[in-house]
Structure 1
Amino acid sequence: MKGKIDLEKFLQSRKEVLATWPTGAEVSLEDGINYHKALPPEKNFAVKLKKVKEEGITAIQPRAGVALLNEHIALLKYLEKEGEADFLPTTIDSYTRQNRYQEAQRGIEESLAEGRSMLNGFPAVNYGVYPCRKIIEEVNVPVQVRHGTPDARLLAEITLAGGFSSFEGGGITYNIPYAKEVPLRKSIEDWQYVDRLIGYYAEHGVLINRESFGPLTGTLVPPSVTIAINILELLLAVEQGVKSFTLGLGQCGNLNQDVAALHGMVELAEEYLKRFGFQDVDLTTVFHQWMGGFPQDEARAFAVIAWGAVAAALAKANKVIVKTPHEALGVPTKEANAQGLKTTRQIVNMLKDQRFMVNEEYLLEKEMVKKEARAIVERTLELGEGDLVAGIERAFAAGVIDVPFAPSRFNLGKILPARDDTGAVRILEFGNLPFDSEIREFHRERLKRRGEKEGREPSFQMVIDDIYAIGKGMLVGKPRTK
């Protein structure tokens, strides 16, 4: 751990970042800080999340973003009113995520000409600070920036100055699952800039929430891999002064495993914060409903949404990211988006006063996921020899951290996950994960048990079957019987 980026060096870097697109000239740290301070507390993401945590409820949040400002505002207002969303997103378009602002500008112009969105999100950099503030002023709940950007420095500058009070992603989670050629050191250092910016806001009395992207590649990611990466991004963020951080986890589908993983993640994160002396961080959680393939049939899709809501509510996640019944069909209508929210709201309201019944399988899952995640984090710290960025870079190169199905060439890609006979995600091929014989035997035994029930050896075919299972109406991809 090397500490905060030197303030003078950071301020010098800002000049270069803000000069990369004309709207950067609108950004003033002093003005941005004053703008946030003038907003009512109920519009601050970190403040509201802390309240949600204290009240023990699970808040709901959709995904949403379109190209035209007025249409984007209308969409968010609809999701707030009709969908009853507690928090709102602004999903950023793909051109902006790749820092291709000229092409994003053409997308805005084409959208204006066509009278509908020709981009898959909101190009916030092109609009600049003041249109962003219009979004904040038109809604009554906090708004988060959701994107997928390896280099999010200018996006952060503009949206934070524009009044957004939560920024999702990280140098690992918005690189490895999203990009092929971006070196890890580059994305991590660019995200250290983002975290230093948020730390600067905190130093001047404005809390900005940071959130790690839990689902990673979305399908069958072993929870321990997700947890280890969350903890590493947490440590990178708090080192730069971040005071509000949300740990993210994607739904796997087995209730014991999902609840145990979320609880184990918080326990382990608190352990590492204490170990490194960060005792003033408000830690919260977000649970993502199923991020893999969905059934095309809407009734079946609602069942998948409801199951994710059940897991989030029983785990007492502080927030759940909601899917829509149109997941298998493309970009959802605002009505479908609101339907997913209302389905989730009904579930979390019904379960808010109920508690998950602790059982032996839950306790075993939590013990194992913590042991696995700790092994990954500890080996990463060892490889870094006091330099966390170097440790992460070396850990990925060595396969100590390995994300299945990731496009990045800086990810080794040697591990393979598959479900056991209960639907819990296990590891079929370990690659170079730093697991001891007890952990490896646990996974092998669970997969062997499934193989015996299905009359086949655990293999890559199981992986394929599991990837498509939920879309076909099952959790475990069992072979067809005649």
Structure 2
Amino acid sequence: MQVKNKKIDKELFLKERQEVLKSWSTGKEVDINEAVEFHKNMPENKIMVNKLIDAKNNNKTLIQPRAGVALVEAHIDLLKFLLEKGEADLLPTTIDSYTRQNQYQEAEQGIKESYETRRSMLNGFPAVNYGVKECRKIIEAIDAPVEVRHGTPDARLLAEITLAGGFTDFEGGAISYNIPYAKKVSLEDTIQYWQYVDRLVGYYYEHGIKINREPFGPLTGTLVPPAISHSVAILEALLAVKQGVKYVSLGYGQNGNLIQDIAAIQSLKELAEKYICDEGYDDIEITTVFHQWMGGFPQDEAKAFAVISWGATASALSKATKVIVKSPHEALGIPTKEANASGLKTTRQIINMLRDQSIEQTKNMDIEREIIIEETIAILSKVKELGDGDWAVGIVRAFEAGVLDIPFAPSQYNSGKILPARDNKGAVRFLNTGNLPFDNKIKDFHADKLKERGFYEERDVSFQMVVDDIYAISKGMLVGRPK
């Protein structure tokens, strides 16, 4: 096995950079020394780290949408609209699907067709095709920090161009942008690709530039138990800090039970700090990201606003550093800018109303927090054991053994044995723990919770509960009850 959790040697890194930059014509525009100077001259309010740390220190939850279209000026107009009319604090540039698969020729055709039709024929912004200069038009035009959001297993060239272009936050990781997104890409490959991305971010930091890194928290987005997403987020953070990353935002996807969601954000920060400190790092700034519901949405707009509002409430009461906001058109396809702004304003109103409120730390919340911590520690301890102390090696071996397993993921490197289902109060439990390294106490906890639901619904605990739960919110419920 070639992959190791070791910082890439500077000379090897610089040599690899030359090959990466040759993989598409716009790579020749990247001059990292000139890019460092560009970042140094950037206004403080456009630097993501500054906004995140200020929010963390002042107990604020920032709001950020998803957004990206094919043409530069149209993308700028969209971001300006979401900033001014939607009241967004932070902005994204969501990358198109062709770029995510490194299919730049197809993305080029999409740009051409978009110019011809004067509407976006891509489902995002093709940053690699545009190159550094065009990316900087976005950064210079927008009076807020902008993050690169994508879904790319091999994001090395995308990172080179967008970071040189002035973006100050880069999403993704070796697990979270592989196992939920790709079928045949190996973890050995993506770990090395993302070690390069993190080494690049670390290289910028060595030259005085603050770039934030954000592993993708929701993974497959639907009914992901907190311990699974926590384990992935912490592992990707550990790989990142090894390469010199100093700022990480760890995410969690809303599951819908308020007590569990609050406990999840609390435990995520606590666990991340523990594991990063245990590795000897005491200078890492950790912030948290709450993703509003990533599963199916109701088609009815009023009902969709209720789902958004519930996510806004959970993010505010959990004290997450930022929340990724959905739109009321989620069930209908790519939202209009007006719909996107409506989701933002709905979230803003609730966050403002709840900013000075907190929820009492109840016994049930403590139970949820403790079980999430216990499960996450069990997984991470086994990963480290399998890797003989090396986190990168451990990740590969853990997926091979099913010790790491993500529900509903398409990757052939994922066991796919675990099954989640809601308990009688809507918290996400394990119907099947697969090969996760849980003791009988943890397994019995989940079995008992699901038995309670089965008794209430007068049916056996079965896979049908999983199916019912997947579609429940789109049908106006949280728990998928039988008719």
1:9 maps to: 12
The residue type paired with residue 113 of structure 2 is E
1:440 maps to: 443
Q: What CA distance in whole angstroms lies between the structure 1 residues aligned with 2:413 and 2:299?
A: 34
The residue type paired with residue 351 of structure 2 is V
1:185 maps to: 188
Give yes or no for the alignment of 1:164 onto 2:164: no
The residue type paired with residue 416 of structure 1 is L
1:127 maps to: 130
Q: What CA distance in whole angstroms lies between the structure 2 residues aligned with 1:452 and 1:66?
A: 49
Conserved? CA contact 2:5–2:392, under 8 Å: no
Deviations 1:18-43 (A, max 9, x none): 00001000001101111000001110
The residue type paired with residue 52 of structure 1 is A
Q: What CA distance in whole angstroms lies between the structure 2 residues aligned with 1:457 and 1:29?
A: 60
Q: Which of residues 343, 367, 370 is equivalent to 2:373?
A: 370
Where does structure 1 differ by over 2 angstroms across 4 or more consecutive aligned residues?
A: none
Q: Which runs of 5+ in 1 are unaligned?
A: none
Q: What CA distance in whole angstroms lies between the structure 1 residues aligned with 2:387 and 2:25?
A: 38
Q: Which runs of 5+ in 2 are unaligned?
A: none
2:100 maps to: 97
2:142 maps to: 139
Q: What CA distance in whole angstroms lies between the structure 2 residues aligned with 1:204 and 1:290?
A: 38
Q: What CA distance in whole angstroms lies between the structure 1 residues aligned with 2:37 and 2:427?
A: 48
Please, what TM-score do these two structures have when normalized by structure 1? 0.99
Q: Which of residues 296, 316, 319 is equivalent to 1:316?
A: 319
Matches of residues 280-291 of structure 1 in structure 2 within 5 Å?
280-291=283-294
Conserved? CA contact 1:306–1:343, under 8 Å: yes
Give yes or no for the alignment of 1:108 onto 2:111: yes
Conserved? CA contact 1:294–1:328, under 8 Å: yes
The residue type paired with residue 426 of structure 2 is G
Give yes or no for the alignment of 1:347 onto 2:350: yes
Conserved? CA contact 1:76–1:88, under 8 Å: yes
Q: Which of residues 343, 354, 359 is equivalent to 1:356?
A: 359
Q: Which of residues 417, 429, 434 is equivalent to 2:432?
A: 429
- Tell me the percent identity: 64
2:218 maps to: 215
Give yes or no for the alignment of 1:49 onto 2:49: no
1:269 maps to: 272
Give yes or no for the alignment of 1:64 onto 2:67: yes
Q: RMSD between aligned alpha carbons?
A: 0.6
Conserved? CA contact 2:5–2:393, under 8 Å: no
Give yes or no for the alignment of 1:461 onto 2:439: no
1:326 maps to: 329
Q: What CA distance in whole angstroms lies between the structure 2 residues aligned with 1:150 and 1:387?
A: 22
Conserved? CA contact 1:67–1:122, under 8 Å: yes
Conserved? CA contact 1:107–1:119, under 8 Å: yes
Q: What CA distance in whole angstroms lies between the structure 1 residues aligned with 2:207 and 2:10?
A: 14
1:150 maps to: 153
Q: What CA distance in whole angstroms lies between the structure 2 residues aligned with 1:17 and 1:227?
A: 31
- How much has 1:366 moved relative to structure 2? 0.2
Q: Which of residues 25, 28, 51 is equivalent to 2:28?
A: 25
- How much has 1:388 moved relative to structure 2? 1.7
Q: What CA distance in whole angstroms lies between the structure 1 residues aligned with 2:441 and 2:121?
A: 52
Residue aligned with 1:328, SS:
helix
Conserved? CA contact 1:2–1:386, under 8 Å: no
Q: Which of residues 30, 33, 38 is equivalent to 2:41?
A: 38
Deviations 1:339-385 (A, max 9, x none): 00000000000000001211011000000000001111110011111
Deviations 1:79-133 (A, max 9, x none): 0000010000000000000000000000000111111000000000000001110
2:233 maps to: 230
Count of matched residue positions in the alignment of Structure 1 and Structure 2: 480
- How much has 1:205 moved relative to structure 2? 0.5
- How much has 1:2 moved relative to structure 2? 4.1
Deviations 1:435-476 (A, max 9, x none): 011100000000000000000111000000000000000000
Q: What CA distance in whole angstroms lies between the structure 2 residues aligned with 1:378 and 1:204?
A: 35
1:410 maps to: 413
- How much has 1:386 moved relative to structure 2? 2.8
Deviations 1:271-312 (A, max 9, x none): 111111111011000000000000000000000000000000
- How much has 1:387 moved relative to structure 2? 2.3
Q: What CA distance in whole angstroms lies between the structure 2 residues aligned with 1:92 and 1:426?
A: 33
Matches of residues 466-477 of structure 1 in structure 2 within 5 Å?
466-477=469-480
Residue aligned with 2:280, SS:
coil
Conserved? CA contact 2:429–2:446, under 8 Å: yes
Please, what TM-score do these two structures have when normalized by structure 2? 0.99
Residue aligned with 2:332, SS:
coil
The residue type paired with residue 414 of structure 2 is N
